[in-house]
Structure 1
C-alpha cells in the first residue's frame, strides 16, 4: 500500500516551535504507560526529522491519588481490586494510574440516561432480566474491554507513594487481562504466538525492574516501550513530582511563576478572582471551599501526604490528612519566601502541584504541553483562567498547548492482519472477522451507520415498528417473532372485537334500564295527577257531608261508589309500575350476564396466553433495543476515541513489524491551542 504523507500541520507547527519557541521544552505527561502516552514518541521523531532544537520530556504523572471506589474499604486480602466501569456499582469509579483497555476497548460507559434517551424503558424491563435490575445495569452499562485498579485500603496514597512490591501482582493481573483479550482477537496462529511472546516480555520486564515505587516502574517501562516502538531517539523520562520539586533552588523556575502570582500581594486577589470565575459551573471547588487563605496549589510530601496550601499572615497550613501548620515570621509574598519555609521544614523532597485548571497553566509557563487531541476536557477552563489573569493587567503568557491527533484505525491498513472482532463491532461491521485494510476503509462509515441507527431507534417508540427495525437490522429469528406478533395481535383484536360487541350490548341494556327508570317516574307522576284530579275532590266532598252530619245521605253513598271506581282505575298504575320494575330486574340480570361473559372472554386461558406471549415478545424486543443502543454507543464513540487515543502496546502486539506504528506516526496532525 502507499504510505501516508506527512500532514502539512506537522511542518507548520514545528516551524513555529523552531522560531517562536526554540528554547522551550516539550512535555508529555501521562498517568500510565499502558495507554496512549508513549505514542507521542512519534512527535519526537518528527522533531528530529525537522532538525528542531527542542527537547521533549516524557513524564509519569504521579502526583494524583491512586484510584479508589467510594465505599470500598477492605483491610484484609489483596490491597488492589480490578474492576470494570459501569453506571451501577462502579458508577463513581475514576481510575487512571492503573487502567488498561483491550484492543478496541475504551472507558466508554453507556449510561442509563443514554438508554432512556434512546427510548429504552429500562425500569420497565429490568425486573424481567435474569438477575433483576442490578444485573441489567451492570451488564448493559459496562465499558467494553476496560478494567481499572482501585486501592482498597483506608489510606489514600498518591501514585508516587504506591510501592511496586504492593502493586506488582495486581498490575500483572491487569496486564494479563488486557493482553490476553487482545491476543485472542488475532486470527492467525503464528501472529498470535508472536503477540503472546511480546506480552510475556512486557510482563517479565515489569517484574524484573528493581523499581521502588509504581512511578519508578512506569518511568523504566516508559523507556522500554519507546524503545520497542523503534523510535530513533533517546527520550528523556521524568515524573511530575520530580519536575515540581519545590525548594530554594527551583522556586525561580518559570513552572512556579503562577504560584508566585498567587503569593504576591499586588496580584493575589486578581488571580483568586480569575480562578473562582473560571471554575463556576464545573465540579471543581472555588477557593473558599478549601478554607481561609487557600490557593489552588497542593503541597506533596512523599510518604506524608498531599494537601491544599493555605497561606495566612503568620502561618502556613497544609491540609494533609493530618494537617501541617508552619509558623511564619511574616506574611508570604513570593514563591521564594514559600520555598524557604517549605525547605526549612521538609528539605528538598516536597513538590507543589497546581489544582485542576491551574495545573496546565502552571506547567505551560515553562513547557510546551503536548496533549492528545481528545485529552484533558477541562483545558478550556484553564484558558479562561489565563485570559482573566491577563485582563486584570497581570503579565502571564504561558506557551500554547501542542495538540497531537493520531489516526490508529486509518493507519492500520499498513499491515494485513486478520482480527476477530468483539461482539458489538462484529454486529456493526456485519462480520466476525475482518482484515485490517478493510477495517481502515470502512470504520468511519460504520461509525456513521451506528449514529444513524441510534437516531432511528429514538424515533421508533412502538413495539410493532421496533420489531420491523430488529428484523431489518438484526435479522435471524426476529422475522419469525415479528410474524408471530402480528398473528397474536390479530387474535387479540378478534377477542377485542367480541368484547366490543358485548360492551355494545351492555350499553344498549343500560340504555333500556334508563328508559325503564324514566317510565317508572312517568307512572308515578300520572298516578299523582290522577289522584289529584279525581280522587281528592271526591274525598273533600265526602268529608264535607260527614262534617254536616249527613253520613247516611244518599249523596255520600254515591261519592263512595265513585271513589271505589277511581280506586280500581288507580290499580292500573300499580300494575304498570310493577311491570316496569320487573323489566328493570331482568335487564339488570342481562347486564350481569354480559359483564360475566366479557370477563370470561378477557380472562380466559387463551386470552391470557396470547397477552402473556405478546408481553414476552415486547420485553425481548426492548432488551434487543437496549443491546442495539449499547452496541451503537460502544461502536460510534469507542472507535472514534480509540482512533485518536490507542494504547501504545496495541501496536507492539498486533503489529510486531512496526508497520502500523510507523504509518500512524507519519499520519499525525498537530495544532496549537492557546492558553
Structure 2
C-alpha cells in the first residue's frame, strides 16, 4: 500500500530535509524517515549536533550527566534534555503549573497555601512528565557558552544509552501485558540491545552523534543520507543562508522589529530579541577548551561580537573567512530562524516534520510572512511537510490489551482496555477535557462543575455552614464554632484538591493527539501488533504540505 499523500505536487526529485535530535529507534525520527523513503522522496537527515544538549536546575560544571524526568521548577527553570530521551507510552507531558492559573481561578502559590502545601510540593507532584531524558550542567566554563549535543562522547553517555533501553523495555512490558505482546517486546529489545552494544563498541572513542549515525543506518540502510546539522549550517557553506542572517546585520532595527513582532503575534514561548543589547537571532558554534559549544551573537555598531571576540562588518556583510579562521564552525539560527535557513534559497529543501512536531513552527511561519511582505526574502522558501501516522486511530484494528497510565485509566474507567476501545474513545476524551478546561476559565462554570461532581463534599459544606451559623448565634467564640470552621476549611481544601487534579488530568487528556505520531512508534507498534502492524503504520502514513498559517490541511 503506498504512502498516502494529501499535498499539492512539489519537486520530489530534489528530496527533503529532516533535522532531529535523539536519532535512534526509540523515537519517531526513524519511522518518519522510513515513511518518506516509502513515498519515493530522497531524504537527507541531519542528526542534530549544534543544539544545546541539556540543562538541569542546580547543577555545576563537572557534575555527571544522568537520566531524569523532564519537568519545571517553581523558579521557572526546567530540567530538559534534547540529546537522549524516551517517552513512556501515552505518558504525561511536562507542565509549567502556572499555566493552570486561569483554569483554577487563582495563583498556584495561593492555591498551595490554601491546601496547606508548599509551591515546591505542587511542582514536584504535578510538573514532571513521563519523558525520561539525559540532563546535566549546560554551561561550559562560564555562563556564556553552552554544551552542544555534538560535544557528548560515547564514553560519557554509554551508560545512559543502556539505562534508557532498559527503561523503554520495562515500560513496554508494563504497557502491553498480553503474553503475545510480552514475547514480541522481549524479542525486539533483545535484538535492539545486542545491536546497540555492538555499535557502542564500534564507536567507543567517538561521539553520541556518531552512534546515532550508525544506529539509524542499521535500520535505514540506503533509505536516507545521514549527515550532521553542523554541515548544513557550516559558516559560509551557502551564500543564501548567510544572506538570511545578514538581514539582521545590515538593517538590524528593521529586521529585529519584524522578528520580535512575529514572536509576539505567534504566541509561542520564544523570547524576543534584546534589541538594546544588539542581540542577534543566531548562535555561533565553536570549539572552546576542547568542547563544542555555542554562544550568543550580538551586533555592536559595525562589529559582530561572539564569545568575547569582535569581527568587523563591511556594510553589514558577515566576515565569513575571518569567522572560519577564528574557529566559528557554524552560524545556527534560533529555533524560528533555523527552520527558515534549511528551506531558503536554491540549496533549500522542503523540511519534513512529524504531526505535532516543533512547537515553534507558528513563529517561523509568522516571521517568514513578515520578512516576505517587507521584501527581505527574495529567494524561494520551500514548504514544510508533515508526516502523520494516526497511531491512536490505527488501534481500531487491534484487540491487544493496553495497560493505561493513571490519568488515562481514570478517564476510561479501568486500567486495562483493548486497543480498539481506546481508538474509539480517545477523541471524545480529549474533546471533553478541552471543553472542561475552557469552562473552568469562568468562576461560575467552575463552581457549577464542583457542585455537580462533588455533591457529598458540598452537602457537607452546606451542613457545616448551617451549623456554624447556629453555633455563632449562641456563642460566636465557642470551641464548637472553631471546630466547625476548621472542618469547613478542610472540606474546602478537599474541593480545591479535587479541582486541581481534574485540571491536571484534563491538561494531559487534552493533548492525547500528541501521541498520534510522536514517541517510540517502532517498539510500541511491535508490541501492539508485531512487525506487520508497524509496516501498516508506515504504509498508511500521510504526507501533507503545511499551510503558511501553520496548520496542515
TM over 0.5: yes
For the structure 1 residues 226 and 625, does the alpha-carbon distance in structure 2 shift closer, same or farther, using more than 3 Å as the test? farther
Larger fraction in helix: 1
Residue 133 of structure 2 corresponds to 148
Aligned length in residues: 525
1:117 aligns with 2:103: yes
For the structure 1 residues 97 and 419, does the alpha-carbon distance in structure 2 shift closer, same or farther, using more than 3 Å as the test? same
Could you report, residue by residue, the CA deviation over 1:453-487 in whole angstroms, capped at 9, with x for unpaired residues? 3345555669985664334xxxxxx74x5554454
For the structure 1 residues 488 and 174, does the alpha-carbon distance in structure 2 shift closer, same or farther, using more than 3 Å as the test? same
Residue 379 of structure 1 corresponds to 361
- Equivalent residue of 2:55, what SS? coil
1:234 aligns with 2:223: yes
Could you report, residue by residue, the CA deviation over 1:118-148 in whole angstroms, capped at 9, with x for unpaired residues? 33674455247586432123212333x2233
Residue 207 of structure 1 corresponds to 197
RMSD of equivalent CA atoms: 3.7
1:363 aligns with 2:342: yes
Aligned counterparts of 1:618 and 1:205: Cα–Cα separation in 2? 56
- Are the counterparts in 2 of residues 457 and 625 from structure 1 also a CA contact under 8 Å? no
Could you report, residue by residue, the CA deviation over 1:67-125 in whole angstroms, capped at 9, with x for unpaired residues? 1135422635x333524313536743443223321000253415234145233674455
1:353 aligns with 2:332: yes
1:439 aligns with 2:433: no
Tell me by how many angstroms 1:299 deviates: 4.0
User: 5+ unaligned residues in a row in structure 1: which ranges?
Assistant: 49-53, 228-232, 472-477, 500-597
Tell me by how many angstroms 1:188 deviates: 1.1
- 1:55 paired residue among 16, 24, 42: 42
- Are the counterparts in 2 of residues 118 and 454 from structure 1 also a CA contact under 8 Å? no
Residue 124 of structure 2 corresponds to 138
- Are the counterparts in 2 of residues 368 and 402 from structure 1 also a CA contact under 8 Å? yes
Residue 273 of structure 1 corresponds to 254
Residue 103 of structure 1 corresponds to 89
Tell me by how many angstroms 1:157 deviates: 1.4
User: 5+ unaligned residues in a row in structure 2: which ranges?
Assistant: 141-145, 265-269
- Are the counterparts in 1 of residues 93 and 508 from structure 2 also a CA contact under 8 Å? no
1:243-642 maps to which residues of 2 (within 5 A)? 243-246=232-235, 251=237, 253=238, 256-260=239-243, 262=245, 269-270=250-251, 273-280=254-261, 281-282=263-264, 283-286=270-273, 288=275, 291=278, 296=282, 298-301=284-287, 303=291, 305-308=293-296, 319-320=306-307, 323-324=308-309, 331=314, 338=320, 340-346=321-327, 350-365=329-344, 366-390=348-372, 391-392=374-375, 395-458=378-441, 468-471=451-454, 479=456, 481=457, 483-496=459-472, 499=473, 598=474, 601-637=475-511, 639-642=512-515
TM-score by length of 2: 0.82
- Equivalent residue of 2:53, what SS? coil
Tell me by how many angstroms 1:447 deviates: 1.1
1:646 aligns with 2:519: yes
- Are the counterparts in 2 of residues 67 and 150 from structure 1 also a CA contact under 8 Å? yes
- Equivalent residue of 1:376, what SS? coil
- Are the counterparts in 1 of residues 232 and 342 from structure 2 also a CA contact under 8 Å? no
Tell me by how many angstroms 1:667 deviates: 4.3
For the structure 1 residues 290 and 39, does the alpha-carbon distance in structure 2 shift closer, same or farther, using more than 3 Å as the test? farther
Tell me by how many angstroms 1:271 deviates: 7.6
- Are the counterparts in 2 of residues 263 and 332 from structure 1 also a CA contact under 8 Å? no
Aligned counterparts of 1:286 and 1:464: Cα–Cα separation in 2? 41
Aligned counterparts of 2:305 and 2:194: Cα–Cα separation in 1? 40
- Are the counterparts in 1 of residues 103 and 438 from structure 2 also a CA contact under 8 Å? no
- Are the counterparts in 2 of residues 66 and 159 from structure 1 also a CA contact under 8 Å? yes
For the structure 1 residues 300 and 272, does the alpha-carbon distance in structure 2 shift closer, same or farther, using more than 3 Å as the test? farther
1:170 aligns with 2:143: no
TM-score by length of 1: 0.68
Could you report, residue by residue, the CA deviation over 1:367-397 in whole angstroms, capped at 9, with x for unpaired residues? 1111223233333443444445443366322
For the structure 1 residues 659 and 617, does the alpha-carbon distance in structure 2 shift closer, same or farther, using more than 3 Å as the test? farther
Whose radius of gyration is greater, 1 or 2? 1
For the structure 1 residues 29 and 117, does the alpha-carbon distance in structure 2 shift closer, same or farther, using more than 3 Å as the test? same
- Equivalent residue of 2:147, what SS? coil
